[in-house]
Amino acid sequence: MSKIELPKSLKVETVGRVAVLRLSRAEKRNALTDEMVNGLSLFFRHVSSDIGAVVLCGEGPTFCAGLDLSEALATATFHDAVRHSQMWHRGFQDIQFGSVPVVSVLHGAVVGGGLELAAATHIRVAEASAYYGLPEGQRGLFLGGGGSVRLPRLIGTQRVMDMMLTGRTMSAEEGHAIGISQYLTGAGEGLAKGIEIANKIATNAPVSNFAILHALPRNGEGDVTAGYLTESLMAGSAQTTPEAKERLAAFLTKQAAKVARP
């Protein structure tokens, strides 16, 4: 990894070509401060080229309990609050549209800004202890980290509305059934599963991963005609790289694995 100065509330280690980034504020249930959000942005803008994927997890019994409410209380003006939300947007966009895929490992509370953070990642692995909530309505707040954009696309507007209006929480199993997580594991098994997935992702051709992260979500939400052109451009970019030629040749000479029945 490149040498960048992260706050003490974030810790990083490498496992082969995978970086494991931990929210390290367990005494505050990993509640997100401005320093942490800016640290996440800094990290994802400077991921070194030898890293193929990132696993994001939380220390202690909780993934992330959301925004540190003491910082919200200290926000003085409407303008300050708008700028604060925009800062979160930039930080989470650096995750969603960064240079490498991100696998989040969810356990315990994944609420408010913590669920917004998870929604900005690409693959979500939930342990059985995970539970989801959006308590902003009960706090006199509204989503400010991009959740009102990402979460309706992920689980549907009516479900997000229900969670925000009523304070309803969802279990790991309920969240998995509606698409919050793509993988569900037992207690204590999430990190190993997340690293396993990240290692597999890291073996993909970098241009393919880039296209999946940047073109796929935009094509799914944007203008159809522009989407077809973007797809053609990304397909051409990926298919003509030397690495793609090598991988295609390996498949054709039966040196690469075929798609197998699950």
Q: In what order do the strands lie in the sheet with 109-111?
A: 109-111, 131-133, 170-171
Looking at the chain, the whole-number percentage of residues with pLDDT higher than 70 is 98
Catalytic residue, from 13, 136, 173, 189: name it: 136
Domains of the chain: 10-202 (3.90.226.10), 206-252 (1.10.12)
Q: What is the pLDDT of residue 21?
A: 98
pLDDT in tens, 181-221: 999 999 999 999 999 999 999 999 999 999 999 999 998 88
The yes-or-no answer on residue 116 being catalytic is yes
What's residue 261's pLDDT? 61
Active-site residue among 116, 174, 221, 231? 116
Q: Give the pLDDT band (50/70/90) at residue 37.
A: very high
Q: For this structure, is 127 an active site residue?
A: no
Mean pLDDT of the chain: 93
Each residue of 113-154: pLDDT tens digit?
999 999 999 999 999 999 999 999 888 889 999 999 999 999
